[in-house]
């Protein structure tokens, strides 16, 4: 099936599958360009529904729900990746879907994802498929330490088992097979690139950034990453290669490790706006959400130029919400809240972008005073 090349100008309706904060910020960017947004979500209220024109409520895999949703939209995109293959096929039957269902299927499954990334010619952490307990016997030869990851539905470090040695391996029971075993990489930094590719094949990469995690959840993003220009460029080249290999139409986050031995390894891809691109909202004229909307509607993609440096800091429930009053009073800090009522432990409630003149991102020592905990 050849993909649709139709352009959807402002005034048309964009369908977004998923109702979370990524959908909310995409809908706000779409509204700024004069689009209407229709959300598909399982619950009747959600961060995205609150800012969208309308919504269909129902299961992501129910054929009647998907049909009702698609009929309300001109073009369909995602903020949530885990729609079944059957659901994706149905959506594609009714409307152009960007990025394609095929790309979503790749990103949903770590085995498919690694296979396609290897085909794109990018380097990955050494990996092995573990189909059942008998395959665990391969691990001592493969080498410890390893990280076992579920092949599907992982996020914020969930569905991962870290195994330091054979003794720890022998203590594991009832693992959720299939799994992917990955060598634990000794990395200097985690980097990511947001890459957009338009209907005409135009590729735009935002600057390479550094991501730091806390308790498996993204904590801060430094934009730009404090690295050599050649490495930042190599990361953008890798992201471009992947976007082209997958024939992406839309936006994609590419997570990478910069290993201590100097190599750049791709960790995973997310074909949608990504938490590590939130800094663009206050440091770029066109942010990741507008770039996403432009790519899926077929509008031109402007250069992903950064006009300022930025530190993005996630606000995680419940403790970080206490910082909101001081953030509101601070200079140079742009607050984004997602409108979630229930500040559960580990829940992403919002983020704050602290902005600096270009080239003036504070060094490591100053960072700690800017980001009090």
> Could you give the 3-state DSSP secondary structure of residue 60?
coil
320 is an interface residue for ligand ADP by CB under 6 A: no
Q: Which residues, 6 or more positions from 74, have their beta carbon under 8 angstroms from its beta carbon?
A: 8, 12, 13, 14, 15, 95
Query: 159 labelled as ligand-binding?
Result: yes
Angstrom distance (rounded) from CA 128 to CA 262? 23
Which residue matches tokens 């269909």?
56
Angstrom distance (rounded) from CA 135 to CA 99? 34
Residues 179-208 that bind ligand ADP (CB under 6 A): 182, 184-185, 190
Q: Pattern of binders to Mg ion over 125-154, x per CB under 5 A?
A: ------------------------------
155 is an interface residue for ligand ADP by CB under 6 A: yes
Work out what residue 190 binds among Mg ion, ligand ADP, none; the CB cut-off runs from 5 to 8 Å by kind: ligand ADP
Tokens coding 351: 């983020």
Please work out the total of residues on this chain that contact ligand ADP, with binding judged by CB under 6 A. Answer: 16
255 is an interface residue for ligand ADP by CB under 6 A: yes
Closest distance to ligand ADP from the beta carbon of 128 (Å): 12
> Could you give the 3-state DSSP secondary structure of residue 210?
strand
Cite the DSSP H helix spans in 246-307. 280-283, 288-297
Angstrom distance (rounded) from CA 42 to CA 200? 34
27 is an interface residue for ligand ADP by CB under 6 A: no
Closest distance to ligand ADP from the beta carbon of 154 (Å): 4
Angstrom distance (rounded) from CA 262 to CA 174? 37
233 is an interface residue for ligand ADP by CB under 6 A: no
Length of the chain: 373
Binding annotation for ATP: 110, 149, 154-160, 182-185, 190, 213, 267-268
The site for Mg ion (CB under 5 A) is made up of: 255
The site for ligand ADP (CB under 6 A) is made up of: 125, 147, 149, 154-158, 182, 184-185, 190, 213, 255, 267-268
């Amino acid at each position: 099936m050849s993909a649709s090349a139709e352009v959807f100008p402002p005034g048309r309706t964009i369908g977004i599958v998923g109702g979370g904060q990524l959908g909310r910020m995409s809908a706000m960017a779409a509204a700024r360009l004069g689009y209407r947004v229709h959300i598909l979500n399982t619950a009747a209220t959600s961060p995205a529904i609150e800012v969208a024109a309308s919504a269909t409520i129902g299961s992501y895999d129910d054929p009647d729900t998907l049909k009702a949703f698609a009929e309300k939209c001109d073009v369909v995109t995602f903020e949530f990746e885990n729609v079944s293959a059957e659901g994706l096929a149905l959506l594609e039957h009714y409307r152009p879907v960007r990025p394609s269902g095929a790309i979503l299927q790749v990103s949903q499954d770590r085995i498919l994802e690694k296979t396609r990334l290897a085909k794109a010619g990018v380097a990955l952490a050494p990996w092995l498929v573990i189909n059942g307990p008998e395959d665990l016997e391969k691990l001592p030869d493969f080498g410890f330490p390893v990280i076992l990851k579920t092949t599907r539905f992982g996020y914020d470090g969930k569905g991962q088992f870290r195994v330091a040695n054979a003794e720890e391996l022998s203590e594991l029971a009832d693992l959720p097979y299939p799994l992917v075993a990955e060598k634990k990489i000794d990395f200097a930094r985690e980097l990511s690139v947001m890459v957009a590719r338009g209907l005409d094949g135009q590729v735009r990469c935002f600057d390479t950034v550094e991501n730091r995690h806390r308790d498996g959840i993204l904590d801060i993003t430094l934009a730009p990453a404090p690295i050599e220009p050649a490495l930042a460029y190599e990361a953008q080249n890798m992201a471009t290669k992947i976007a082209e290999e997958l024939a992406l139409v839309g936006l994609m986050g590419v997570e990478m490790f910069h290993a201590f031995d100097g190599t750049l390894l791709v960790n995973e891809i997310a074909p949608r706006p990504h938490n590590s691109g939130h800094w663009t909202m206050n440091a770029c004229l066109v942010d990741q959400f507008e770039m996403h909307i432009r790519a899926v509607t077929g509008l031109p993609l402007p250069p992903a130029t950064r006009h300022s440096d930025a530190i993005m800091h996630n606000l995680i429930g419940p403790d970080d919400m206490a910082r909101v009053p001081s953030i509101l009073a601070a200079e140079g800090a742009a607050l984004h809240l997602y409108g979630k009522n229930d500040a559960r432990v580990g829940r992403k409630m919002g983020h704050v972008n602290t902005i600096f003149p270009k080239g003036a991102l504070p060094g490591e020592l100053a960072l700690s005073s800017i980001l009090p905990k």
